Protein backbone atom coordinates (compact mmCIF):
# COMPACT_ATOMS: atom_id res chain seq x y z
CA UNK A 1 0.00 0.00 0.00
CA UNK A 2 2.70 2.46 1.03
CA UNK A 3 4.82 1.84 -2.08
CA UNK A 4 1.94 2.54 -4.45
CA UNK A 5 0.84 5.65 -2.58
CA UNK A 6 4.41 6.92 -2.33
CA UNK A 7 4.64 6.75 -6.14
CA UNK A 8 1.60 9.03 -6.27
CA UNK A 9 3.05 11.37 -3.62
CA UNK A 10 0.36 10.46 -1.10
CA UNK A 11 0.04 9.01 2.38
CA UNK A 12 -2.86 7.37 4.20
CA UNK A 13 -4.29 7.62 7.69
CA UNK A 14 -4.06 4.53 9.88
CA UNK A 15 -7.86 4.21 9.96
CA UNK A 16 -8.04 4.34 6.16
CA UNK A 17 -5.23 1.79 5.81
CA UNK A 18 -7.01 -0.66 8.11
CA UNK A 19 -10.27 -0.30 6.17
CA UNK A 20 -8.49 -0.74 2.85
CA UNK A 21 -6.72 -3.88 4.05
CA UNK A 22 -10.08 -5.40 5.00
CA UNK A 23 -11.31 -4.78 1.45
CA UNK A 24 -8.26 -6.13 -0.37
CA UNK A 25 -8.10 -9.78 -1.37
CA UNK A 26 -5.26 -12.20 -1.85
CA UNK A 27 -4.70 -11.33 -5.52
CA UNK A 28 -1.73 -8.95 -5.47
CA UNK A 29 -2.38 -7.62 -8.98
CA UNK A 30 -6.03 -6.88 -8.23
CA UNK A 31 -5.06 -5.29 -4.90
CA UNK A 32 -2.51 -3.08 -6.63
CA UNK A 33 -5.22 -2.04 -9.09
CA UNK A 34 -7.52 -1.08 -6.22
CA UNK A 35 -4.79 1.03 -4.62
CA UNK A 36 -4.09 2.74 -7.95
CA UNK A 37 -7.81 3.40 -8.38
CA UNK A 38 -7.93 4.93 -4.90
CA UNK A 39 -4.94 7.17 -5.71
CA UNK A 40 -6.68 8.36 -8.88
CA UNK A 41 -9.89 9.00 -6.97
CA UNK A 42 -8.04 11.09 -4.36
CA UNK A 43 -5.88 12.91 -6.95
CA UNK A 44 -4.69 16.28 -5.65
CA UNK A 45 -4.83 15.26 -1.98
CA UNK A 46 -1.73 14.64 0.10
CA UNK A 47 -3.41 12.24 2.53
CA UNK A 48 -6.14 9.66 1.95
CA UNK A 49 -8.66 9.22 4.74
CA UNK A 50 -11.35 6.74 5.65
CA UNK A 51 -14.03 8.58 3.68
CA UNK A 52 -12.07 8.21 0.44
CA UNK A 53 -11.59 4.49 1.06
CA UNK A 54 -15.30 4.04 1.73
CA UNK A 55 -16.30 6.07 -1.31
CA UNK A 56 -13.93 4.14 -3.55
CA UNK A 57 -14.84 0.71 -2.25
CA UNK A 58 -18.59 1.20 -2.29
CA UNK A 59 -19.05 -1.39 0.47
CA UNK A 60 -20.17 0.87 3.29
CA UNK A 61 -22.46 -1.66 4.94
CA UNK A 62 -19.66 -4.18 5.49
CA UNK A 63 -17.27 -1.53 6.71
CA UNK A 64 -19.89 0.01 9.00
CA UNK A 65 -20.51 -3.42 10.59
CA UNK A 66 -16.84 -3.71 11.59
CA UNK A 67 -16.76 -0.05 12.56
CA UNK A 68 -19.86 -0.46 14.76
CA UNK A 69 -18.38 -3.43 16.63
CA UNK A 70 -15.02 -1.67 17.06
CA UNK A 71 -16.65 1.54 18.30
CA UNK A 72 -18.86 -0.38 20.71
CA UNK A 73 -15.92 -2.23 22.23
CA UNK A 74 -13.87 0.99 22.46
CA UNK A 75 -16.71 2.93 24.11
CA UNK A 76 -16.94 5.48 21.29
CA UNK A 77 -20.66 6.20 21.47
CA UNK A 78 -20.82 8.74 18.63
CA UNK A 79 -18.83 6.55 16.24
CA UNK A 80 -20.97 3.55 17.19
CA UNK A 81 -24.18 5.45 16.48
CA UNK A 82 -22.95 6.50 13.03
CA UNK A 83 -21.66 3.07 12.04
CA UNK A 84 -24.65 1.19 13.48
CA UNK A 85 -27.06 3.47 11.62
CA UNK A 86 -25.18 2.90 8.34
CA UNK A 87 -25.19 -0.84 8.94
CA UNK A 88 -28.94 -0.92 9.55
CA UNK A 89 -29.75 1.44 6.67
CA UNK A 90 -27.72 -0.81 4.40
CA UNK A 91 -30.00 -3.72 5.28
CA UNK A 92 -27.74 -5.27 7.90
CA UNK A 93 -29.43 -7.04 10.80
CA UNK A 94 -29.01 -5.12 14.08
CA UNK A 95 -28.55 -8.28 16.16
CA UNK A 96 -25.43 -9.19 14.16
CA UNK A 97 -23.47 -6.25 15.58
CA UNK A 98 -24.44 -7.02 19.17
CA UNK A 99 -23.88 -10.77 18.92
CA UNK A 100 -20.45 -10.19 17.36
CA UNK A 101 -19.51 -7.78 20.13
CA UNK A 102 -20.50 -10.35 22.78
CA UNK A 103 -18.05 -12.92 21.40
DSSP code string of the chain: -HHHHHHTT-EE-HHHHHHHHHH--S-HHHHHHHHHHHHHHTTT-SEE-HHHHHHHH--HHHHHHHHHHHHHHHT-HHHHHHHHHHHHHTT--HHHHHHHHH-
93 with 48, same domain?
A: no
Its domain, for residue 86, covers: 60-102
Average pLDDT over all residues of the chain? 84
Query: How far, in Å, CA of 94 to CA of 92, rounded?
Result: 6
74 with 31, same domain?
A: no
pLDDT attached to residue 63: 57
More confident residue, 12 or 24: 12
pLDDT tier for residue 25 given thresholds of 50, 70 and 90: low
Tally of domains within the chain = 2
pLDDT attached to residue 64: 66
pLDDT tier for residue 12 given thresholds of 50, 70 and 90: very high
47 with 17, same domain?
A: yes
pLDDT in tens, 50-60: 989 888 864 54
CATH code of residue 19: 1.10.8
37 with 66, same domain?
A: no
C-alpha to C-alpha distances, 35 to 58, 79, 84, 87, nearest whole angstrom: 14, 26, 27, 25
35 with 47, same domain?
A: yes
pLDDT in tens, 60-88: 445 567 888 899 899 999 989 988 888 78
Amino acid sequence: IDDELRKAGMSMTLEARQALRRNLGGDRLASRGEIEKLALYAHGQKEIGLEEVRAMSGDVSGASFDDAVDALLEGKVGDFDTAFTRHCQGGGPPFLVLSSAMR
